[in-house]
Chains A and B, each alone.
Chain A
Amino acid sequence: MNAFRLAGDMTHLLSVVVLLLKIHTIKSCAGISLKTQELYALVFAARYLDLFIHFISLYNTVMKLVFLASSFSIVWYMRRHKIVRRTYDKDHDTFRHHFLVLPCLALALLINERFTFREVMWAFSIYLEAVAILPQLVLLQRTRNIDNLTGQYVFFLGAYRVLYILNWIYRYFTEPHFVHWISWVAGIVQTLLYADFFYYYIMSWKNNVKLELPA
């Protein structure tokens, strides 16, 4: 494992920790999109189908379990926890996320590395992850007061994508057979979606003002 990959995984983990901190400690999910969280839970469930079939490393298994458990518990908190769910900004979280799922599934059936159940589900999870942040970005745009933890959560999530691209570039040159066109193209699309957010996040940090996205 190279440094970019490890740093990418760690920022991904950090984003989850920041979100859980907000939900668990502050008992608030204000500014967090339930739609995005549900999509992530679906992404991990579809991608980690091989969890108990293919053993890669202890690190890999543990991280997969962490992402599965955290994504489903976040959805549970936002839907069921009696205090947390009251802070959910339902009126602004109106992105029709179900309409993302079907096109991703169709694309996975058409473009995959092999036409088997697991490979189609893997491609589906990659496509869905690329667009899963959209409801969250739309909600941020509609939120007048973006709190620090929410901004940091999205920032770490975006940083993870950037680091994964660097990891692929590194692996492409160091591992002769490392080719994954599907995850590369989807990963670049996913990262580009954060470009706008990054711009405003860095500007707010530089100018020391509160983060606000233009509508």
Chain B
Amino acid sequence: ECLTAPKDEL
């Protein structure tokens, strides 16, 4: 389901 990674970048 979760295809995109968490937004942990700046």
Q: Does B5 lie within 8 Å of A5, measured CB to CB?
A: no
- List A22-59 residues whose CB lies under 8 Å from chain B: 50, 56-57
Q: Does A122 lie within 8 Å of B5, measured CB to CB?
A: no
The secondary structure that dominates the A interface is helix
User: Which of chain B's residues has its CB closest to A12's CB?
Assistant: B10
Q: A67, A122, A178: which contacts B10 (Cβ < 8 A)?
A: A67
Residues on the A chain within 8 Å of B3, using CB: 177, 179
Residues on the A chain within 8 Å of B2, using CB: 177
A62 to B3, alpha carbons, bound, how many Å?
A: 27
Q: Does B10 lie within 8 Å of A180, measured CB to CB?
A: no
User: Which of chain A's residues has its CB closest to B6's CB?
Assistant: A56
A113 to B2, alpha carbons, bound, how many Å?
A: 11
A175 to B6, alpha carbons, bound, how many Å?
A: 12
User: Does A150 lie at the interface of the complex (its beta carbon under 8 Å from any beta carbon of B)?
Assistant: no
Residues on the B chain within 8 Å of A171, using CB: 5
A56 to B5, alpha carbons, bound, how many Å?
A: 13
User: Does A9 lie at the interface of the complex (its beta carbon under 8 Å from any beta carbon of B)?
Assistant: yes
Q: Does B5 lie within 8 Å of A9, measured CB to CB?
A: no
Residues on the B chain within 8 Å of A164, using CB: 9
Q: Does B5 lie within 8 Å of A180, measured CB to CB?
A: yes
Q: Does B9 lie within 8 Å of A5, measured CB to CB?
A: yes
19 contacts between A and B (CB under 8 A): A5-B9, A56-B6, A56-B8, A60-B8, A64-B10, A67-B10, A122-B7, A164-B9, A167-B9, A175-B5, A177-B3, A177-B4, A177-B5, A179-B3, A179-B4, A179-B5, A180-B4, A180-B5, A180-B7
Which residue numbers of B lie inside 8 Å of A, CB to CB?
2-10
Known: A167-B9, A178-B5, A180-B7. 17 other contacts (CB 8 A): A9-B10, A12-B10, A56-B8, A60-B8, A60-B10, A64-B10, A67-B10, A122-B7, A164-B9, A177-B4, A177-B5, A179-B3, A179-B4, A179-B5, A180-B4, A180-B5, A183-B9
